[in-house]
Amino acid sequence: MTKRTMTLNLTDDEMRVLVELSERKDLSKTSVLRQALRLYQTVDARLVRGEKLLFENETTKEKSELMLL
């Protein structure tokens, strides 16, 4: 698979979150960002189809909708 390289500028806070996520998810920083892109595209495609993104609390079964612009 051919890959392209790009430079990414992140703030300190963004970099801190990226490092935290990569440690917690056992992924490289590149893999976290690729995963984020996949997830964002999946969510966007479903929203375009008219679906909603909901989170459910496992205990209370309470649902909340995540609004994406």
Partner 1 sequence: MSTEVSIISLLDVKNSSSVQAELRDSIGEVQLIDWHTQWQPQLFQVLNQLKQQGVPLSQWPQSRNWDWPQKTAQVAGLLAFKCFCVTCDGVTQGLMRVDLNKTAQVPEQKGRPLVYVEYLEVAPWNRPDLGQPIRFKGVGTALMVAAVALSEYEGFKGRIGLHSLPQSEDFYRINCKMIDLGLDANYQYLRYFEMTHEQAHAFLKE
Question: Applying CB under 8 A, which residues contact partner 1?
Answer: 1-2, 24-28, 30-31, 34-35, 37-39, 41-42, 45
Provide the residue type at 3 as one letter. Answer: K
Q: Where are the beta strands (DSSP E) in the chain?
A: 54-56, 63-65
Choose between 16 and 34: whose C-beta lies nearer to partner 1.
34
Tokens 């051919």, residue located: 2
- Quote the least distance from Cβ 1 to partner 1, whole Å: 6
CB-wise, 4 or 12, nearer to partner 1? Answer: 4
Instruction: Yes or no: say if 25 and 32 are a contact pair by the CB < 8 Å rule.
Output: yes
